[in-house]
Amino acid sequence: MFARLWIPAATGLGSALLFQVQPLVAKWFLPWFGGGASVWTACMLFFQVVLVGGYLYAHGLTLRLGRRGQAALHLGLLLVAVTGLAAAALSWPSPLTPGPSWRPGLEAPPLPSLLGLLALSTGVPFLTLATTGPLLQAWFVRLAPGRSPYPLYAVSNAGSLVGLLSYPLLVEPRLDVPAQAWLWTGGFAVYVLLVAATAVAQSRAGSLAPKTVRPSSDASAPDSAGRGGSGPAWWIAYAATASLALLAVTNRLTLEVAPVPFLWVVPLAIYLVTFIACFGRSRRYRKNVWGLLLLGSAASTALALLHGSGLPLPLQIGTLLILLLSLCMVCHGELASSAPHPSRLTAFYLSISVGGALGGILAAVVAPALFQGLWELPIAAYLGVVLLLASYFREASPRFFGTPARRRATLAASALVFAVLGTGLGWTVFSERSGTILSSRNFYGWFVVDQVEVPNRPGEHYLRLVHGGIVHGAQLDVPHLRRLPTAYFGPNSGVGRAIRSAVKEGEDESRGIRVGVVGFGVGTLGAWARPQDTYRFYEINPDVIALSTGPRPVFTYLSDPGGKKEITLGDARLSMEREAAQNYDVLVLDAFSSEAIPVHLLTLEAFRLYRSHLAGPRSILAVHVSNDHLDLEPTVRALARATGFYGVTVWERARGLALTSQWLVLSPSRERLRVPELSRSVEPWDGPERPVRVWTDAYSDVLGTFRLLGTRRTPSREGTTGR
């Protein structure tokens, strides 16, 4: 009974809980660390390392202890996990979500702080769940002698897939994060009961009899003899390459689109589906088919990377996901083909987990420290092709090569494939774009500074800051023109109009104004500062600030004369929560033009905070929502209604050094928006609005903001647009 019903049930439930807790806690900690894509990569690193710990525990438990010792020790671990969750429930909003007092300070290093919080909140429960696959399969062999345990690996991955897909589709849209954590804790309690009963049952069963495992004609219990790469080194290599590809694709998607659970889940779901297909009773892996698809998708990825972010979003996403699917099918198919006898089962799974953690370390620690760009993606694709060809050579019989001439021809063809594909994939790694001055990558993202010729003005150039394909600011490299505001911040932009209207507000235009800016970029808004004004910039990335500070800054808006200019390093929201009211006449939110938007800056709690920092009812909140793939206007309008703001939409069409921009200009006073600067050629918010649920710190729906097929609403004439 235990073998046929309870063990599959515990395996599936444990795996679902294992993979559902990952987006749950990542979403909770996302606003604590700036809302960037690296938060998910760091979370994946933590979970992969703990998974190794769980597999190592299961391996040691079955290797060193007898039946009763295994049951006693594991029951003790279950008790510790339940006790820890109960204790957390007494002092936190939920058993998995620490309260605000646990939020790290602005000066705390983000990666160690995040890993520490993850260990505190989910470490022991996740370690317990991580033991499920190898431990229950080892007990299954004892309780059901003669039956292959490997189909349970497919059950495990199917449970993981259910847990993953149910989160963005069912759980996240309906429950806030603390409620999600309570629901998860209830599922964990059921899991503990199932595993505890299984532990007791196996302690009373006979000893493991490895030679009685029944053979299988459908490869559900494969033998490694003569099949591809076999042994721990090859297992680790296959697992590490698939893990690196998973995180590289996820990183690319979340940096180019948005760091949200949906875009975390889709690549991970593909990763799990390949495990299910390769380890299930009916094997879906055909090396020739998937190898050909891997070669084709790697070549397509090389072309997509060379083309850059100018490709339509669906094509970018599709290319990356097909690459991930084919590469994971090859790696996991080779793993399934080389799976050993059940007597070595825990060592096999331990090797897979070590490889997964190694891939996570490469993506989360090594890549940001050593690479200047997102180079791990082409590296993963190339490694996948290398392993594919290596498996062919390892399996080939001596007759495959035949004569020396045939051997030379085969090696030459393989070398040509390596050279052509390596050149295409490596072009983004080893070549520099024309005009590139410098590039930088850290926990908070990746950017490039390049030099571009001014249109229709030969010999004149401007410098620009680019993140992926998104321009975050530009400055003319001409001494007498460098103080001109460019890009999204010119005189006819929404923020330009807001600042001009603030200067004219009241009877005395000589009065200084206070302007707060969330998102520094290159400091372009500093060009608007008069001697009597104060501009305060909030920026989370120290490398971005370094571009405008020091003895020889790349961009000089900050150091040029004009007003008092201050910079606060750290997440803007966390900084503003710790500050006294700043009494801003204009508060600018310029953190959403990138495709990876910080969601925590667009919540009800955030907008209430912004309002508390305004000088009065006639102050302005200017929100920059220009975005190729996300339609953020309905979300901001819902937040404005909920916090007592009125608003207008201001468009500016690209012309000269001005880029097409969409600004939402808000104020607590409707009359404030009727001044000439804000009432001419704007789009008033008078018509019916699409109902949108207000985002909060515990609820957001970025998936609902995606523009279909990457279409973007543009102005129908200069400065305005029709609906």
Gap between the Cα atoms of 375 and 487, Å rounded: 28
54 and 166 inside one domain: yes
Dihedral of CA atoms 687, 688, 692, 697 in degrees, nearest 10, equals 40
SS (H, E, C) 275-342: HHHHHCCCCCCCHHHHHHHHHHHHHHHHHHHHHHHHCCHHHHHHHHHHHHHHHHHHHHHHHHHCCCCH
183 and 236 inside one domain: no
Burial category of 412 from C-beta neighbours within 10 Å (exposed 0-12, middle 13-18, buried 19 and up): exposed
Asked if pLDDT for residue 366 goes beyond 60, the answer is yes
Of 178, 207, 236, which residue sits at a domain end?
A: 207
| Residue 722, domain member (yes or no) | no
| Residue 469, domain member (yes or no) | no
- Summarize pLDDT for 274-332 with one digit per residue, the tens: 887 887 655 677 888 898 899 888 888 887 777 665 667 678 788 889 999 999 999 98
| Residue 442, domain member (yes or no) | no
Q: Looking at residue 592, which CATH number applies to its domain?
A: 3.40.50.150
Give percent of the chain with pLDDT exceeding 90: 27
- Summarize pLDDT for 680-711 with one digit per residue, the tens: 777 778 766 677 888 887 777 776 777 654 44
Task: Single out the residue of 152, 135, 137, 171 nearest to residue 19, CA to CA.
Answer: 171
The answer to which of 328-342, 389-403, 595-609 has the lowest mean pLDDT is: 389-403
22 and 130 inside one domain: yes
| Residue 454, domain member (yes or no) | no
Q: What is the pLDDT of residue 499?
A: 93
Q: Which amino acid is at 573?
A: R
> What angle (nearest 5°) sits at the alpha carbon of residue 706, between those of residues 704 and 711?
145
Task: Single out the residue of 530, 474, 435 nearest to residue 658, CA to CA.
Answer: 474
Please tell me the total count of domains within the chain.
3
Residue 228's domain comprises 218-431
Q: What is the pLDDT of residue 534?
A: 94
530 and 569 inside one domain: yes
201 and 225 inside one domain: no
Of 207, 235, 253, which residue sits at a domain end?
A: 207
287-307 vs 404-430: helix crossing angle, rounded to 10: 30
| Residue 174, domain member (yes or no) | yes
Asked if pLDDT for residue 225 goes beyond 50, the answer is no
Q: What is the pLDDT of residue 663?
A: 93
83 and 13 inside one domain: yes
Task: Quote the tokens at residue 382.
Answer: 């190339």
Of 395, 412, 431, which residue sits at a domain end?
A: 431
**Which residues lie below 8 Å from residue 564, measured CB to CB, with a gap of 6+?**
529, 533, 534, 535
Q: What is the pLDDT of residue 594?
A: 55
Give percent of the chain with pLDDT exceeding 70: 81
Q: Tokens 């010999």 label which residue?
A: 459
Q: What is the pLDDT of residue 509?
A: 64
| Residue 57, domain member (yes or no) | yes
195 and 260 inside one domain: no
159 and 300 inside one domain: no
DSSP state of 215: P
Q: Give 719's pLDDT tier (boundaries 50, 70, 90).
A: very low
Asked if pLDDT for residue 131 goes beyond 50, the answer is yes
- Summarize pLDDT for 202-218 with one digit per residue, the tens: 887 754 444 433 333 33
| Residue 443, domain member (yes or no) | no
CB 514 within 8 A of CB 583: yes
Mean pLDDT, range 146-159, rounded to an integer: 76
| Residue 447, domain member (yes or no) | no
The answer to which of 164-178, 199-213, 355-369, 381-395 has the lowest mean pLDDT is: 199-213
Gap between the Cα atoms of 718 and 476, Å rounded: 24
250 and 134 inside one domain: no
The answer to which of 192-201, 443-452, 627-636 has the lowest mean pLDDT is: 443-452
11 and 98 inside one domain: yes
Q: Looking at residue 173, which CATH number applies to its domain?
A: 1.20.1250
- Summarize pLDDT for 226-279 with one digit per residue, the tens: 344 468 888 999 999 999 999 888 877 776 655 555 666 788 888 888 887 887
Q: What is the pLDDT of residue 386?
A: 86
377 and 496 inside one domain: no
Asked if pLDDT for residue 167 goes beyond 50, the answer is yes
Mean pLDDT for the chain? 81
**More confident call, 396 vs 462:** 462
CB 559 within 8 A of CB 524: no
Q: What is the pLDDT of residue 589?
A: 94
117 and 241 inside one domain: no
DSSP state of 666: E
Mean pLDDT, range 547-568, rounded to an integer: 90
- Summarize pLDDT for 653-669 with one digit per residue, the tens: 878 778 888 999 999 99
